[in-house]
Structure 1
Amino acid sequence: MEGFEGNKIRYMGSSVAKSAPCDDEVNSVAFSLKEGDKGFIAIRAFIIRPKSTDAFSFFLPVEWRGDMPFVDLESLWIPPFSDRLGALNYFGLMVEIDGIIYTTNLFDKDKEGKRYISNCNLLCKYLAGDVDADAVKSAATELIEEEEAKKRILELEERIKDLNKLLSEKDQIIYKKDKLMEDYRGRADKIIDAAETLYIDVNQQWFHRPAVKKALKDIDRAFIE
């Protein structure tokens, strides 16, 4: 399926295998399905005019005709289940399940009564009856849990950064303390060496005094006598 004369196609999703990623503007979309299968492709077509651009959204039925897949551009896809109805707008695809709107519009993810679904093909498969409501609900819940997990990871990473900073500060404090201890030990050794030298000098000077020498001689003489 191709756009014509420079017009664009915005692929919004499909219930069958396709070549384009969801919510992407392309010039053409290829699809495939098994013989006997049916489904649909959701697109938004842009008609470019000299002074304006018009946009139209479609659910186009695809089926096997003859010996090849076929896109019916002249008919609209009719959901096989009356309680599974979808809608298309510029921002994406949406369906309602048990009073909750499940949408591929990222801007609606935090709005009350709405749940964001990143996989637009899943919503298409739900509309076509290929998956049940639980698959859609589970996908929405997984996205919420994944987002919460990412926030938790970011918080933990910030805490790790803070802890690493504290550990770095602790290492700096220990280094400074060890450095001071080394300086104190060096100073203490110098003081002890100086004191010992002074003690030796004092002793030597004391013994060389005349009065001390005479007293020592008198003591020696007294022991001899």
Structure 2
Amino acid sequence: MKAEPKSEQELLVRATEIAGLTFQELAEEAKIDIPADLRRDKGWVGQLLEWHLGATAGSKPQQDFEKLGIELKTIPIGYNGKPLETTFVCVAPLIGVQGLTWQQSHVRNKLSRVLWIPVEGEREIPLAERRVGSPLIWSPSEEEDQQLQADWEELMELIVLGQIEKITARHGEVLQLRPKAANSRALTEAYGASGKPIKTLPRGFYLRTQFTARILANNFA
């Protein structure tokens, strides 16, 4: 694995150097096997890029480039240049959330500075032949921060009120809350409407595709 980059500029240079390369080329250099598809290996692309860029956090709650305060997000895009899927931000806390503010939240921390790397995501392109796109380093504008905060506060209020089971993917303009579990047996604790603990699927915060599409459009226009 490459050493951790010492500055944002160095990170951006590394990300620019791998733009245009295929997963095959990157995997050979890293000596990482390419899976047949991503159904069972959802995090594979991220791990491959982390190796090349020198990310250190792995799946820990802090940012991928902890010393730089930068999070790495890969974004599969279609032939039209638009994101093909929502972007996972972090796992949502379901208990002990009384008094938690947007300013202290994991979501805000993770999204405060992001290195976006678009990658080819169309299913018919074999994984080995998919290419990495041009990187971009982004922080939310004041307007984007307000949109994220409004959605986060609405979703967290429902969690606090014991309405977790009523939250659907339709809630939230730019940020949504969805089950995040490999299987339905991986239950976690939350509070139900009566205030008593219940068992439910872990939830994750995801950015909607129209939000990430706008980030890409604004920066690659």
Q: Using structure 2 for the length normalisation, give the TM-score.
A: 0.22
Which structure has the highest strand share of the two?
1
Structure 1 or 2, whichever has the larger Rg, is 1
Q: Relative CO higher for 1 or 2, CA cutoff 8 Å, sep ≥ 6?
A: 2
